[in-house]
Amino acid sequence: PLSTVGRRKVLSVGANSSSLFLPRLAAVAAARPAKMVRISVLGDALKTMYNAEKRGKRQVLLRPASKVVIKFLSLMMKHGYIGEFEYVDDHRAGKIVVELNGRLNKCGVISPRYDIGHGEIEAWVARLLPSRQFGVIVMTTSAGIMDHEEARRKRVGGKVLGFFY
């Protein structure tokens, strides 16, 4: 029912409220599935992959695809954290099917993309990764998207995209 509190009109929604349009409103809300808000394409892809890995899935479908996501996945594949992946062109944003192998413990995106000088890489490794022996920080540099070890070898800095271990 519609009631007045002060100067405002308040619509009370609950088990006791009876209105003509509320059951219809509830039916519309129940029919629509909850949709993930796209903040960052890379962030959504990594979160989807992490959730599928936690559930023990063997494959996961990532959409939309982007060049950054494909480069990130190729680094993960190079280091052995995921199996092969396939880009599916649907004449829209594209999809990626990733084979999971159970080795991915955690992956995430770093937002905002902080600038890192080549001398600061070690501090970020200590901050983000559980150990110096394993785990990778992915950076975008002037020489392309690469892991932190390659950036250290090439003596280039850049911006942090994300990490995985």
Q: For the segment 85-106, what is each residue's pLDDT rounded down to a tens digit? A: 999 999 999 999 999 999 999 9
CATH of 110-165, one of 3.40.50.150, 1.20.120.450, 3.30.1490.10, 3.40.190.10: 3.30.1490.10
**Cβ–Cβ < 8 Å for 157, 116:** yes
Interval 141-164: pLDDT, tens: 999 999 999 999 999 999 999 999
State the pLDDT at residue 34.
74
CB 128 within 8 A of CB 113: no
Instruction: Using pLDDT thresholds of 50, 70 and 90, give the confidence band for residue 11.
Output: very low
**C-alpha span between 102 and 91 (Å, rounded):** 31
Q: Which amino acid is at 140?
A: T
What CATH number has the domain spanning 38-103?
Answer: 3.30.1370.30
Q: What share of the chain is helix, strand, coil (3-state, %, to 5)?
A: 35, 30, 40
